[in-house]
Structure formats: C-alpha cells, structure tokens
Structure 1
Amino acid sequence: MKISGIELRRVRMPLVAPFRTSFGTETARDVLLVRVVTEDGEGWAECAAMSEPRYCSEYVDGAQDVLRRFLIPALPEDGVDAETVGRVLHPFTGHQMAKSALETAVLDAQLRSTGQSFAAHLGASRDRVPCGVSVGIMDSLPELLDAVEGYVEEGYVRIKLKIEPGWDVAPVRAVRERFGDDLLLQVDANAAYTLVDAQHLAELDAFGLLLIEQPLANDDMVQHAQLAKRLRTPVCLDESIESAADAAAAISLGACSIINVKPARVGGYLEARRIHDLARAHGIPVWCGGMLETGIGRAANVALAALPGFTLPGDTSGSGRYFATDLTEPFVLDADGHLDVPTGPGLGVEPLKDVLDEVTVSNEWITR
C-alpha cells in the first residue's frame, strides 16, 4: 500500500467535567489526529499522548515532532502495510503512542481498502462489549457519591475510582456502603504509592475490589510482586506494561494477576493483540484501558475489547462521559451497559467534518 501523504491535525476537545488523577487534572484534550492518504483511500488514528509528560514521558507536542522528523520519514516509499510498520519503527526508542497512531492509521487505511472491520482483523469474538467508567478524584465524598450514582443510573457495569494517598480507603468505603457489594468496583493509583504503603493498601482488601491498578512505580515490577503477596486484592499493571515482553516478565515474576492493555501505551493494536494472546495462554485476565479518547480512538478500543481474553469490563465509556460533542457519531451505552462493536470497514467510524473543522487548532500535511 503506497502512501501519498500524511496529515497531522491538532484538535482541542473540552471535557464535560474536569478529570483529576494522582498526576494532574485535565479540563480539555489536546488531541493529535493522524490521517494516512493512500492511492485507495485514507485511514485515521488518534494519538493518546496528553499535553504534559505526567502519565508517561510522552506528550502531544513531542509526539507530533517525532512523527514529523523520524517516524513518517522511516516508512518505505514503495509501500507499507500495518504488519511491517512496527518493524520499521522498532529502531526508534520509546515514543509508543506516536508509533501506535501511525500504525493504526495505516491499518485503518489498509482495512478500508479490503472492506474488513478492525474487530474482524484483530480476532473479535463478540459484537458488543460491557463498559466501565473511570471516576476521577473529587473534592468531597458527597460529590463522588453523586457522580457514581449518575454513572450507575446510566448503566455502567463497573466503576473505577482514581485514588492517591489521602483519597483511598474513605472513598472506597463510602461507595461500597452506598451501592453495596454487588457493584463491580476497582481502584487505580497511577503509581502514587510505594511499598512502604503496603499495610495501608491492605485495608482495601475489606471491600471486595476487582483489582488495584498500578499501585507502585512503573519500573517496580519486583516490588509489585512483593506487594501482591501482601494483598488479597488482585494487583493489575498498567504503566508497567509497554510490550508483550513486559507482560511476560510481569507474569513470570508474579507482579500482577490482571493486565490493563492500553494499545497506545504498548505501541499499537497489533502489539496489544500479542499481549492479549500471551495473557490468555497464561490464564491472566485482561481489560482495555482508556486515555480519554474521542470516537476515533474509542472505535478501535471497543474492537479490541471484543477479543475473547478481555473478560473484564474496560474503560470503553460512552462518548458523553467525556465530550458534549464527539468527533464521530457518538458511542451510546445500551440499556444494560454495553457498546456495540463497529462493523464497517476499518475503524467503522468517520470524523464529522463540521465538528472536526470547528475544533481544529492546526493542520500539517507531509507529502510522501
């Protein structure tokens, strides 16, 4: 597949409410979109990097720069398919989110030209997926309980609470007491704790959580393994897993019993599928994490979450959780908290031109 040009488009998407985690507060998403144009059509993708390097070392300005200067020029001029993009980009260290965006846009273009859906290509086994929602750190317990109540009423089948030191046991207890033991509940620390906090984190065992996500630093697999032995709550890794090799190491060490697969963090959906296959072979449940994606990134995540090893509800929330108006036709939960998997060619969604034009901040065209 020969690429004639690639568009790097920046859009600004205001969030319906601030989203606070242990590493900062987001009020809007500065999103980099990648559009690959070929002789047969085009493909779209979304770079998940945030404005500042807090969740990880990547940030959106840096992603655009590395795409422009290194990753796009590395693509063969005589043609490329998605399976070879990863090999071509492998010599460049890091920049997983930028790599993921480029590979995904190529894959979308490739699948649109053949008429195959993203879900079918990845090996999906379902046509709808159960959806969870991620609830940020709030200013008060009443505010948190009101937010959770709203999400439960919308139909979300799983609630994830962001936690940090000083906002952990009390909010979990409050949610459990208010909504009961039947609510699927988990927490996400975004690496906010150390092994010194093990005894305190063990207090969460009393609440029957599905998991505690990334409690320690992303390079602390050995200490995660030690922590896992001291908790009844299953430990899930997120930031620590940047590749199938990382997943294999974590499983071998006993650092986790569940993995959050974020395609952008691991370099793309093909590597995400490899992690899924590895985890499934070892009996490790996986679920699909989110990065406040627009409908473009959400379509790909929903397709991935339909693979058979994704046995836990992911962060594949409806569009309205984050945006008043999405870039695509909105993803809307059905009555029992599921989203339909797109079935059209490629991602199965298209950017809405009027919305896209309205939120575009800058546009860059790179000729091949």
Structure 2
Amino acid sequence: MKIVAAELRWVQIPLVAPFRTSFGTCDDRDTIVLRVVTDGGIEGWSECGAEIDPLYSEEWLAGVELVIRDHLWPRISALGDGLTAVAVKPALEPVKRHFMAKHLLETAILDAELKGAGMSFGSYLGSVKERVPAGVSVGIMDTLPELLEAVAGYVEAGYVRIKLKIEPGWDLEPVRLVRQEFGDDLLLQVDANTAYTLLDVQHLTRLDEFGLLLIEQPLREDDLRGHAELARVMRTPVCLDESITSARDAATAIAQRACSVINIKPARVGGYLEARRIHDVAAANGIPVWCGGMLETGIGRAPNLALAALPGFVLPGDTSASSRYYSQDLTKPFELDADGCIAVPTGPGIGVDILPDVLAAVTDRVDSLPIG
C-alpha cells in the first residue's frame, strides 16, 4: 500500500456543555483529523487525542503537527509501497514517545488498509461483542446541585456507569451525595487525573466507604511506587491511566502491584496495536481493563468501540453516545440502546462514514503533507 495524498485538518467543535477536570476546562473539542488516500483510491481517517495545551500529557496539538511534519511523516513516506499498519511502529521507533502523534498516523493507515481488505476494526483486533456497555464521565461542577442534576440526567439516559472527576476540595462530598442520591447499585468510580500525592493517602482512603468500582490515576503518572503504596492501604481498586503508555508499562505496574485495573486509551499508547498488546498483558495477569476516552468525535469513537469489544474489557468504558459531547457529530451519531450499550461498527475499517459538510463547517485549516 502506498499513500498518494495526506492532509491534517484542524477542527474545532463546540461541546454541548463545558467539561472540567483537575487540569482545566474545555468548551470546545480542538483536534486534528488526519486523512490519507492510498494508490487504490481508499481513504483512511483518524482523530488526534492530544489537546490544545500539554496538560493531560506532554503532547499538544501544535506539537503533534510539528513532529508529524518534520520527523514522523518522512519515515512513513520512506516505506513507499511497503507501508502497512504493522510497519508503522518500528519505522517511528527512533522518535522518542510522541504517542498521540504516532496513534494519529497508525490509525489512519490501519483504517485504509482494512478498508482495502474489506475487514472491520473489530474483526482485525479480535472483538467478541456486538455491543459494549457505555459509561459516562462527569466533569467537576460549580455546585453540588448542578452535579446531582447532571448525574440524574445521565442515569435517566441509560448509562450503566458514572465516573466523577475529582480534585482536592471536590471529592468526598460530591461522591457521598451521588451515592446517597442514587443508591448502592449505581456503578460509580472516580478519576483524579494525577491531582493528589502520597501526602493525601489518609484522605483518599475515606473514599473506601462509598463502594467505588475504582479510583483512577490518583497520583502522578511517574509515581508507580506511590500508587503501589496507595493500593496497599486502600480497599478501592487503584486504576492507572496516564502511567500506562505501553505493554511494558502495564507489565511493570502489575508486577509492582501499583494497580488492579487499567484504563486503555489508544491515543495515549500510540495506537490500537499497542492497545491490544496491553489488553493481552492484562488478561494474562487477570487484570480487568476498560476503554477510556478523550472527548472523541465519531471518527475516534468508532475504533474505540471495536477495542472495547475485546474479551478483557469487562468494565464499562467512556464510550458515551455522541450527544454526550456534541449536538452534531462528524459521523452519524452513536446512540445508547435500551440496555445502555452502543453497537460496535461492523463496516470496513473504522466502520463509519465522515459527514463532509459537517467536517468542512468546523475545519479551521487544512495542511497537506508532502508525498514522495
């Protein structure tokens, strides 16, 4: 397979409501969409997981564009007719980290390759489910009544799991009120996005009384020892997110008993092939996994659903319906069914078609990548 055209589209899509975490607030989804065209005329699409600022990770959108143009794309172009999705990782290995930029390239190439073969992402990755249970991530709110109203809406909509973003000063009381209001049967978990330190251990153990599914990434991403110490004293399962960027990281964290659950985000780990490796490592060690989200549009949500249908994904992920974030998605909207699940796309590649008029309306600029 050979690429004969490629373009990076900068897009900005309004969110239906601001989304606040411990590291900032988003009013819009700013991202880069990559489109590649093969010599057979097949299009491959992908969506960048990086944000406008380097707060969730060290990557940010302008940096993604630069590293792709100056360092990653020349290595992809050098593969010529020998380009395959499997060849992407070794070709890009000399460039350290930059996982979200690498994910953008690998996913678009894999999409085009699978479309050419008439195979879906789900079939290629090894999905075993036609539908996956959908959870929803609830951001930090200005007031507790506002939080309860938001959670009530998501419960009424049919989401099977609620995740609350927390930070120092917004943790025990919000969790307590949600648990009291919606009962012990609600699947409830929290996500700190690295907002705490080991000095907060005794405070965090107070979350144990609420019967949470897990606490996600309470400490810094580079503090595996700290997570192991926390996991030793908390009854609530510790889940790692930002700390896990590879199957090697997963194996190390498991060996150090730094977690008992892993959140797998394909964008964070460099693509779906590495995400599947992490799944396999976790499954071999009896560690449950679930699929996290980065406010993806349908372009990124579709392959995430395929990943979440692998056998080791036994917890509901952040694979919410399109309407959770957007009044108009870039694809046909994903919707919850009566059981709180979303269907896994079965068409070739990512399995969804991009709506060209909608994409054009939210595109700020288009930059072509050099060919040959």
Normalising by structure 1, we get a TM-score of 0.99
Structure 1 regions of 5+ residues with no counterpart? none
Residue 194 of structure 1: CA displacement? 0.4
Q: Name 1:331's counterpart in structure 2.
A: 334
1:16 is paired with a residue whose SS is strand
Q: Name 1:21's counterpart in structure 2.
A: 21
Q: Name 1:190's counterpart in structure 2.
A: 193
Give a deviation string over 1:54-99, Cα, whole Å, max 9, x none. Answer: 0000001110111111111101123300001011011101110010
Residue 296 of structure 1: CA displacement? 0.3
Are 2:146 and 1:118 equivalent residues in the alignment? no
Are 2:147 and 1:144 equivalent residues in the alignment? yes
Give a deviation string over 1:313-368, Cα, whole Å, max 9, x none. Answer: 00000000001100000001111110000000000011101101101100011232
CA distance in 1, matches of 2:205, 2:10: 43
1:78 is paired with a residue whose SS is helix
Structure 2 regions of 5+ residues with no counterpart? none
AA aligned to 1:349 is V
Give a deviation string over 1:37-63, Cα, whole Å, max 9, x none. Answer: 101211000011000000000001110
Give a deviation string over 1:131-178, Cα, whole Å, max 9, x none. Answer: 000000001110000000000000000000000000000000000000
CA distance in 2, matches of 1:107, 1:223: 37
Q: Name 1:60's counterpart in structure 2.
A: 61
AA aligned to 1:45 is S
2:258 is paired with a residue whose SS is coil
State the identity %: 65
Are 2:347 and 1:344 equivalent residues in the alignment? yes
- Which one of 353, 358, 367 corresponds to residue 356 of structure 2? 353
Q: Name 1:251's counterpart in structure 2.
A: 254
Q: 4+ residue stretches of structure 1 with deviation over 2 A?
A: none
Matches within 5 A, 1:165-204: 165-204=168-207
AA aligned to 1:201 is L
Matches within 5 A, 1:257-268: 257-268=260-271
- Cα RMSD (Å): 0.6
CA distance in 2, matches of 1:34, 1:366: 10
CA distance in 2, matches of 1:63, 1:366: 13
CA distance in 2, matches of 1:167, 1:357: 39
1:367 is paired with a residue whose SS is coil
AA aligned to 2:290 is W
Q: Name 1:70's counterpart in structure 2.
A: 71
1:161 is paired with a residue whose SS is strand
AA aligned to 1:12 is Q
Residue 6 of structure 1: CA displacement? 1.2
| Higher mean C-alpha deviation, range 34-43 or range 12-21 | 34-43
- Which one of 121, 128, 134 corresponds to residue 137 of structure 2? 134
Matches within 5 A, 1:42-57: 42-57=43-58
Matches within 5 A, 1:222-241: 222-241=225-244
Contact map agreement 1:4 1:367 (CA 8 A) in 2: no
CA distance in 1, matches of 2:52, 2:325: 16
Normalising by structure 2, we get a TM-score of 0.98
Q: Name 1:220's counterpart in structure 2.
A: 223
AA aligned to 2:265 is K
CA distance in 2, matches of 1:352, 1:172: 39
AA aligned to 2:24 is G
- Which one of 71, 79, 82 corresponds to residue 82 of structure 2? 79
1:361 is paired with a residue whose SS is strand
Give a deviation string over 1:266-300, Cα, whole Å, max 9, x none. Answer: 00000000000000010000000000000000001
AA aligned to 2:232 is K
